[in-house]
Structure 1
């Protein structure tokens, strides 16, 4: 008998446009998504997750050293959304919507490495469009590596998110992008949309069942490789 349950979003936005300034000299001649962890570029680690979750359409935004990213990604089944000027996460997602198509989308940062279950599959399994306009993936401080700073959110008993608290957003979510049309700014963070969604009681979170490493700084490379070794991924 065919599965009649909805599978959730079928499109993903992979954020890869930033300058990677926290990487210092490592991004002087290449974009951060091409920095290698365990012998492979960060963006390839991210695309493995996309493939593993069976997502049909992928859009990658580019800006800094866009030609290098385009060359690296040539021949793959994805689309590029080039930003002549950086638009941040909110503006970048809105610019890519014609390529992503209608309905909710996944978004994923390209500067992290994971262990445990596929984070995108976890989001798909927890997504409830009747209650949610956004579902963010989180980890506790003990499951985070390479993180500088405190937490981002707390969860209530029903899984709704509230600003402030120990839980860390790890750059993976499902989002209904309709609200982007009501934001006047051209360059803006998705935090602006999240706050509007939270005010309506439709911002939710789910906790990742493995570890996550932020590879936003040079020292994050070694931390990510150690985390992968511990999980027998390499």
Structure 2
């Protein structure tokens, strides 16, 4: 007899798509790039004076600071509220399990049976789960409203990652002006390149191709820059 084939090792490591840092970091970087570049484009389009570059830099840095703090505050409030709501539901589930253990165990057995387990096995599993209150709370929370009590997102992580990501993204279109460039094009090109890279990187945790993710971000950003530049030209011409 030949050697038996080695056991296949199944790898189930997945990217973090629900944690407290990924969404605000990605959204913050994209928003920082697009919103600040669009702001700069609008100011550049409406500025005709010799110190137009100074106005662009001032607007860009102000937009960076205001946007970063706004994003951080918004993310903190949003994630904190979600976490508090989740904690409220988990606490309610804990009270129900403690006060009505038999009914809750039967409820879990019914849910497991609905998922395909044989009734006898579902009852046995539910009984084992309910031997420990914390385990029962965790399983019921996941089954009933899709929340793992031990993996709630941190509002501090969300706020911090959002702040840093937005600031880094918003700095990109300002950098050429800080180095003495007076034309808008280098800032827009740098921003579009950064958008393409961000879009391509994001596809590592999605099903899209890297070129699609990058191209989509470039297209959306390009439209935003063009529109705000034209708006800036119209407003600048009207009030100039």
Structure scoring higher RCO (CA < 8 A, sep ≥ 6) equals: 2
TM score, norm. by length of structure 2: 0.29
Q: Which has the larger radius of gyration?
A: 2
TM score, norm. by length of structure 1: 0.30
**Bigger fraction of residues in strand:** 1
**Bigger fraction of residues in helix:** 2
